[in-house]
Copies of this chain bind each other. A is one copy, B any other.
Amino acid sequence: MTDDAPAPRRRGRPSRKAAAEGPDTRTRILRAARTEFAERGYDKTSIRGIGKAAGVDAALVHHYFGTKDEVFAAAVELTFEPALVLPAVVGGPPEALGERLARFFLSVWEDPGTRTPLLAILRSAVTHEAAANVLRDFVLRRLLERIAAELDVPDPTLRAELAASQMLGIAMLRYVVRAEPLASAEPEEIVAMVAPTLQRYLGEA
């Protein structure tokens, strides 16, 4: 909460100064939204709560992001930001694509800083239709299309989604259900087992 903005206003309507702060305030709200959704879940998070956590009025949250679903979408996008480097992961020696993807995916999930919001998104999507819609229509579709555009195989989007499903299933069993032996396996052991699966879906090498 100790941000760069000096003494953020905690209550009242946004001042002209707050509005003039522009990008910083927007970022602060977005980070607060991500934390709120991650800690409270989709259901219990409110625009008002996000505003409070960001030290701004709820009206300012509305002003920047609109409805709760739209704030959620923006928070999900922020969480998926690391995934935006995926095209860079995809572009590289094609015969080691599966290995690069598997290693990248596990590194994102092994880091608690990215794992916590990802778990929150997963929980929200599984329990709330609205959250599932956001994940599907705003994030997953664009991500899959972006990866598919880099692939030189038939049905690239379906193949990208099957690769995503393999990684999602591993995340479910390793980090959510924590089922053994997957939960305690070394990341590199998993990479070695899973890379050929991703390679077959995406590379057909």
B172 touches A168 (CB 8 A): yes
Count residues on chain A whose CB falls below 8 Å from chain B CBs: 43
Q: How far is the CA of A168 from the CA of B158 in the complex (A)?
A: 16
Residue numbers in B under 8 Å from A126 (CB-CB):
122-123, 126-127, 172, 176
Residue numbers in B under 8 Å from A159 (CB-CB):
193
Residue numbers in B under 8 Å from A122 (CB-CB):
126
By beta carbon, the residue of chain B nearest A170 is B165
Q: How far is the CA of A159 from the CA of B173 in the complex (A)?
A: 13
Within 8 A of B (CB), among A162-182: 162, 164-170, 172-174, 176-182
Q: Indicate if A13 sits at the interface (CB-CB under 8 A).
A: no
Give, as a whole number of angstroms, the nearest-CB distance from A129 to chain B. 10
Q: Indicate if A85 sits at the interface (CB-CB under 8 A).
A: no
Copies of this chain held together in the complex: 2
Q: How far is the CA of A141 from the CA of B177 in the complex (A)?
A: 11
Shortest 3 CB-CB contacts between residues of A and residues of B = A169-B169, A165-B169, A168-B169
Q: Indicate if A200 sits at the interface (CB-CB under 8 A).
A: yes
A residues with a Cβ closer than 8 A to B are: 41, 122-123, 125-127, 132, 135-136, 140-141, 144, 155, 157-159, 161-162, 164-170, 172-174, 176-182, 185, 189, 193-194, 196-197, 200-201
Q: How far is the CA of A122 from the CA of B157 in the complex (A)?
A: 25
Give, as a whole number of angstroms, the nearest-CB distance from A170 to chain B. 5
